[in-house]
Amino acid sequence: MKEIGSFEQWLEIVATEPKLLLFVKTDHCSVCDGLYPQVAELEDEYQFPFYKANVAQVPEMAGQLSLFTAPVILLFHQEKETARFARFVQMEQLKHRMAELAEWGKGNA
């Protein structure tokens, strides 16, 4: 999972990647630390990139993305948020939405 170090970097990423997953965490968050390896493990199964951001280091992301808790997993397609999972994430629901995202756009090219 690639790390996002600034809000400007995030804007560039979301503008250039057609599909992506964003994992948002903060410092001293045991739920974040427990969920991260489970999400990172899924990266090899999907053909879109995974990114992570720590809102303690990039606080502008929390405000701009309306993030009020951590962890948060956001799925994006064509610069638009398509799904949001916050705090206690049900992995089966996340996998279902990720599979939907992976299928979008196939057969249209």
Q: In what helix (H) or strand (E) does residue 52 lie, and over which residues does it extend? A: strand 50-54
Q: Does 41 reside within a domain?
A: yes
Cα dihedral sign for 81, 101, 2, 29? positive
Domain that holds residue 33: 2-103
Task: Please write the tens of the pLDDT for every residue from 76-92.
Answer: 999 999 999 999 899 99
The pLDDT of residue 71: 97
User: In this structure, what token pair is assigned to residue 52?
Assistant: 């992570």
Residue 108 falls inside a structural domain: no
Residue 109 lies in a domain: no
Q: How far apart are CA 38 and CA 47, in angstroms?
A: 17
Sequence-distant (6+) residues with CB within 8 A of 27 are 54, 56
Is position 31 within any domain?
yes
Assess if residue 66 is contained within a domain.
yes
Task: Flag whether pLDDT at 8 surpasses 60.
Answer: yes
- pTM, two decimals, is 0.92
Inside any domain, residue 9: yes
Give the count of domains, the chain.
Answer: 1
Residues 9-42 pLDDT 10s:
999 999 999 999 999 999 999 999 999 999 999 9
Q: What CATH number did the domain enclosing 74 receive?
A: 3.40.30.10
Give the pLDDT score at 109: 42
Q: What is the pLDDT of residues 36-55, one digit of tens each?
A: 999 999 999 999 999 999 99
Residue 51 class from Cβ within 10 Å (0-12 exposed, 13-18 middle, 19+ buried)?
buried
